């Protein structure tokens, strides 16, 4: 897991964040936003994409709790037998009402004694499914972020931990540091919500295996959240 001292912080297809498996995009392929303007889609030949693919690879079946893995993936609507999609790295806060079923499933896992679906426990698929369930109840975001961060190196998905951090910072009235939380601007286009040190945002995004901010916003405007 990231070292907070090393990185600049502690750590959604429609406006409602949802992960969909889409075809691979060509390198630097231009996309069109909802308003029709061309923009640059995320470049999948770059290191951010390779790092995500490597972390999300469950082909070695190197997790310890298959029951928990299947439980959280099923609850999130994912097929445990399929690979997890790479994230373009954006969400919005316009999510459905709190899902009591997701909360009931995850809340007991926030304690010290219960196993938490990190990569080593429930595989990359289980960890990703947990992230999706967390998005259904904002009261879980902060605790879950810290659980992933405290689990140890490689146990949490860098990209999604960064996304959780941005969400918790925005909810606390602070500026986000990765620019992953978007909203509709005055002209209706998707733009990042308040950020801190925006001049260096792409350096922080690189450390969290995220494409450059402009490319991520392009993907969001085209309705693409994952591939």
Inside any domain, residue 146: yes
Number of domains in the chain: 1
33 located within any domain: no
Full-prediction pTM beyond 0.85? no
Q: Both tokens of residue 95?
A: 């999510």
Report how far apart, in Å, the C-alpha atoms of 224 and of each of 42, 63, 120, 133, 161 are: 10, 29, 29, 19, 20
pLDDT in tens, the chain (227 residues): 444 333 433 333 333 333 333 333 334 556 654 445 589 999 999 999 999 999 999 999 999 999 999 999 999 999 999 999 999 999 999 765 567 888 899 999 998 888 999 999 999 999 999 999 999 888 899 999 999 999 999 999 999 999 999 999 999 999 999 999 999 999 999 999 999 999 999 999 999 999 999 999 999 999 998 86
Contact criterion met (CB below 8 Å) for 225 and 12: yes
List the domain range (segments joined by +) for residue 174. Answer: 4-24+49-221
Q: Which of 79, 77, 128, 137 is nearest to 106 (CA)?
A: 137
The answer to whether position 29 is within a domain reads no
Question: CB of 99 within 8 A of CB of 71?
Answer: no
């Amino acid at each position: 897991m990231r070292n907070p001292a090393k990185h600049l912080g502690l750590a959604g297809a429609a406006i409602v964040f949802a992960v969909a498996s889409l075809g691979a995009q060509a390198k630097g392929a231009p996309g069109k936003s909802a308003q029709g303007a061309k923009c640059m889609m995320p470049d999948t030949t770059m290191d951010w994409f390779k790092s995500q693919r490597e972390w999300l690879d469950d082909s070695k079946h190197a997790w310890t709790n298959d029951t928990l893995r299947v439980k959280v993936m099923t609850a999130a609507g994912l097929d445990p037998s399929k690979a997890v999609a790479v994230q373009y790295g954006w969400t919005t806060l316009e999510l459905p009402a709190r899902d009591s079923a997701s909360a009931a499933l995850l809340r007991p896992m926030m304690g010290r004694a219960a196993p938490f679906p990190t990569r080593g426990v429930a595989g990359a698929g289980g960890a990703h499914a947990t992230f999706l369930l967390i998005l259904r109840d904002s009261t879980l975001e902060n605790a879950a972020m810290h659980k992933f961060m405290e689990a140890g190196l490689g146990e949490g998905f860098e990209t999604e931990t960064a996304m959780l951090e941005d969400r918790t910072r925005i909810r606390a009235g602070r500026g986000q540091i990765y620019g992953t939380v978007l909203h509709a601007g005055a002209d209706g286009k998707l733009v990042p919500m308040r950020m801190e040190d925006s001049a260096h945002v792409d350096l922080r995004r690189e450390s969290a295996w995220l494409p450059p901010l402009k490319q991520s916003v392009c993907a969001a405007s085209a309705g693409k959240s994952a591939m």
